[in-house]
Amino acid sequence: MNLLVPLVFSSFREIVRQPFYYIIFLSGCFIILMSFAFTFFAFGEEARMIRDMAISTITIGGLLAGCLASSVLVAGEFERHTVLAVLSKPVSRAHFILGKYFGILAATFLLVLSQGFVLEVALIIRSDSTVQGDSASLLGLFDFICFLGICFSLLQILILTAISLVLSLYLNTVANLTICLFFFLLCNAFSYIIPLHVNGNVAISTIAAMGYVVFPDFQNLDMAAINDVVAAHLLPWQKGIAVQYLVYNTLHSTTYCALVVWLAIFLFRRKEIA
């Protein structure tokens, strides 16, 4: 632990010094605020439309920041041959990977939570015109669905950043981002390509089951799923469905992420460094 904390802090500091970090942050905030101008034909669904557009923007920005950060930190270490200087110290390869990963997550989570704070404040200011400003009303202005969407965005970032970390051991930035983009699109479309419940064909059912293990279903973590499951089950006798949905996706995402990080450590221990 004494060796891991300095590595995490060093990785975090290196990421927040990168120009792309602030470009993504400012661009995301600009798009979030501009989304308030695209609700002329929402017909009573203005808040939901703003929330969905903003959470999608935050998710894409966080995923891009995580993948770029992985490539800059890990692949850049190999290109500059500075990884040898780090490993020559009493730092194990597992500590190296974990330090880079947690540092990237710290910087990316700060980016996402900052943009989420901007979104929440903008929604509160927008709703405050119809509220009298007392404490009970201000508490009611807090958007739980928006907060949940940000949390599920972080789960997607956990997974894709871990995938990018594995790829950074062998690929450059362009190849890394290309494969991560393909992986992200496939995870969002896999349930359309091969449905989970395939009837009448054992081979396809087996392939589908294996595919859902290898490719996590990001559709369960987007705003459409949150609106369908959580927002539609707010009655007392329906809250169990929403809780089951939250627990399952959180456990599945964190378990998948832990396995991918273990794979990165396993591969790095067997990688020859010239």
pLDDT of residue 88: 75
Give pLDDT tens digits for 75-101.
878 777 777 777 777 778 888 889 899
What proportion of the chain, given as a percentage, has pLDDT over 90?
A: 24
Residue 226 scores a pLDDT above 80: no
Give pLDDT tens digits for 5-40.
888 898 899 899 989 999 999 999 998 888 777 665
- Which residue in 222, 247, 244 sits closest to 51, CA to CA? 222
Please say whether the beta carbons of 176 and 85 come within 8 A: no
- Which residue in 251, 218, 269 sits closest to 98, CA to CA? 269
pLDDT of residue 135: 45
Q: Check residue 38 and report its DSSP letter.
A: S
At residue 237 the predicted structure's pLDDT band, cuts being 50, 70 and 90, is very low
Distances (CA, A) of 50 to 33, 161, 164, 170, 223: 9, 26, 30, 39, 11
Mean pLDDT along residues 180-191: 84
Structure token pair of residue 151: 């949390």
pLDDT of residue 142: 61
- Per domain, the residue ranges of the chain are 4-269
Residue showing tokens 């020559």? 88
Name residues whose C-beta falls within 8 Å of residue 104's C-beta, 6 or more positions apart in sequence: 11, 12, 15, 66, 69, 70, 73, 161, 165
- Which residue in 215, 41, 229, 29 sits closest to 149, CA to CA? 229
In angstroms, rounded to a whole number, what is the distance separating the alpha carbons of residues 77 and 91? 15
Query: Which three-class secondary structure state does DSSP give residue 91?
Result: coil
Mean pLDDT of the chain: 80
pLDDT of residue 12: 92
Tally the residues of the chain: 274
Please say whether the beta carbons of 198 and 205 come within 8 A: yes
Structure token pair of residue 58: 């935050």
pLDDT of residue 101: 92
Please say whether the beta carbons of 162 and 254 come within 8 A: no
Name residues whose C-beta falls within 8 Å of residue 123's C-beta, 6 or more positions apart in sequence: 47, 50, 51, 141, 143, 146
Mean pLDDT along residues 61-87: 83
Residues of 51-86 as b/e, b for ≥16 C-beta within 10 angstroms? bbbbbbbbbbbbbbbbbbbbbbbbbbbbeeeebeeb
Give pLDDT tens digits for 139-180.
445 667 788 888 888 999 999 999 999 999 888 888 889 999
Mean pLDDT along residues 42-61: 79
Amino acid at 241: I
